[in-house]
Amino acid sequence: MNLNLNIKKFSSSPVSCSPSSSCPKGSSGFTLLELLIVISIIAILSVALVVILDPAEALRKARDAQRISDTNTMKTALGLYLTSTSTPYLGGLATNSTCKPTPATAFTSAGTYKIWYSLPIASAISDLSLDGVTPGTTAIAKQATTPALVDSNGWIEVNFDTLIGGSPISNLPVDPINTISSLSGVASTDLVYRYACSVTPLAFEIDAQLESTAYTSADDKRAKDGGNSTSYYEVGTNLKIMGATAGGLDF
């Protein structure tokens, strides 16, 4: 009885009746305890919703889906270029010499062979151990000023404009995040696209990093792509061009 009296004492009832205003029949205010209970329930439900929906993970998963789509779009475009061009060049406007001779060739030819990155040139990548090569005999990291160009001036130096009917893609996709944390120490976790090629066979590989728990743990797409690295999502016509060394590319 005393408890009930105390609650009533702290009632926050907004209803006040005066002689000039009549109170609705049967109306009554909420007690402070009732308000606190409602607020607590709303707070608990809000937290539960955030946990269940996990908007940050949903965004990461959406970006991963974009990466999977992007890399496969580029694979299709490059495949079309290879099959419909009489003298295709995968390593520059008119050269394949920047591609590795074979997929098995190590990236150890004094910087002859290149790994292309979708990062725009703000500062050049200075990592000397790309794909795990011995420092000093590194693959060169190539970047483009305007990565999205499809006329060989983009981050993949293939001229899609030479195709009959024009380029099958209007722009070269770049990673939705497209950053490298340390240009002197590129890491496999950096969210950026990579590309490399080989001469015999004339082939290419594109690697992307994924970030969502859904696609890197529960359903690890990086381990199911048929490639030689579990650190990357790999697509291409030969998936042994990058990531042949222990730990894979850029570790």
Summarize as ranges the residues that interact with Ca ion (CB under 5 A): 222, 225, 227-229, 234, 239, 242-243
DSSP calls for 151-212: BSSSSS--BGGGSTTS-SSSS----SS---S-TTS--TTS---EEEEETTTTEEEEEE----
Nearer to Ca ion, 190 or 234 (CB): 234
In angstroms, the CA 99 to CA 65 distance is 29
For residue 173, is the peptide bond before it cis, meaning its omega torsion is within 30 degrees of 0? no
Rounded to a whole number of angstroms, the minimum distance from the CB of residue 53 to Ca ion is: 29
Rounded to a whole number of angstroms, the minimum distance from the CB of residue 169 to Ca ion is: 22
Rounded to a whole number of angstroms, the minimum distance from the CB of residue 243 to Ca ion is: 4
Q: Give 38's contacts (C-beta < 8 A, 6+ positions apart).
A: 30
Nearer to Ca ion, 100 or 222 (CB): 222
Nearer to Ca ion, 70 or 225 (CB): 225
Rounded to a whole number of angstroms, the minimum distance from the CB of residue 228 to Ca ion is: 5
Nearer to Ca ion, 91 or 243 (CB): 243
Region of 34 on the Ramachandran plot (φ > 0 left; ψ -120 to 50 alpha; else beta)? alpha
Q: Are 57 and 215 in contact (CB under 8 A)?
A: no
Rounded to a whole number of angstroms, the minimum distance from the CB of residue 219 to Ca ion is: 13
Nearer to Ca ion, 149 or 175 (CB): 175
